[in-house]
Amino acid sequence: MSWRSPTLATAVLIGALALGLAGCGFQPLYGSTAKGSKLSEVMAAVQVEPIPGRVGQKLRNELIFANTGGNYAAPSRYKLNIVIKESVTDQLVQITGDATGQVYQLDAQFKLMDSTGKVILEGNAISRAAYNRFQEIFANVRARYDAENRAADTVAESIKTRITAYLANAA
């Protein structure tokens, strides 16, 4: 059999790649943690503290659902505190001074604490969502709510990913 055989060459290439990747330290994010427990069970043990306001409630609900997958939460091993700051910036200002567009920004500072209350991870997450202003009041309110929801979803995903990455190595 010749080395020029496509089947044999492919098998050798796949084998070489498998051996090369075996020692690189690559670990799937949603597999087992470094200590061998299931990451989904560790994430379900993160208690998300209440956050004031409508956007805070939306952010909290997104994180709880992301951590538990819609199941019941596990007994709390970690506590997540989040403080949010909201701001709106006018965009596309006309000569009359009216803004036809706005950008909603959500800043979140989070702290993940262990069962003793020690802060083990902290950080910031920021999201911006643009929306247009209309002449109708209901349309303006709906556009703002949609922008707030989009920003909360993005911030929740960012926080969840950072906590998941940390707990995958620490828990």
In this predicted model, what pLDDT tens digit does every residue of 4-63 receive, in sequence order? 556 666 766 676 666 555 555 555 555 565 566 688 888 999 999 999 999 999 999 999
The segment with the largest mean pLDDT, out of 11-25, 50-64, 97-111, 135-149, is 50-64
Residue with the bigger pLDDT between 107 and 135: it is: 107
> What would the pLDDT profile of 158-167 be if each residue is shown by its tens digit?
999 999 999 9
Local confidence band at 140 (pLDDT 50, 70, 90 cut-offs): confident
Given a cut of 90, is residue 105 above it in pLDDT?
yes
Taking Cα atoms as reference points, which of 128, 129, 121, 130 lies closest to residue 161? Answer: 121
Cα–Cα distance, 17 to 14 (Å, whole number)? 5
Over residues 70-90, the mean pLDDT reads 92
Predicted confidence at residue 152, as pLDDT, reads 97
Given a cut of 80, is residue 79 above it in pLDDT?
yes
**E strand or H helix that includes residue 126:** strand 119-132
Cα–Cα distance, 160 to 70 (Å, whole number)? 15
Q: Where are the domains of the chain?
A: 30-170
Cα–Cα distance, 62 to 15 (Å, whole number)? 42
Predicted confidence at residue 61, as pLDDT, reads 96
Cα–Cα distance, 15 to 28 (Å, whole number)? 20
Cα–Cα distance, 168 to 164 (Å, whole number)? 6
Quote the pTM value: 0.77
Predicted confidence at residue 25, as pLDDT, reads 54
> What would the pLDDT profile of 11-27 be if each residue is shown by its tens digit?
666 766 665 555 555 55
Contact indicator for 43, 67 with CB cutoff of 8 Å: yes
Predicted confidence at residue 21, as pLDDT, reads 55
Predicted confidence at residue 27, as pLDDT, reads 53
Cα–Cα distance, 6 to 113 (Å, whole number)? 55
CATH of domain 30-170: 3.30.160.150
Cβ within 8 Å of residue 5, ≥6 positions away: none
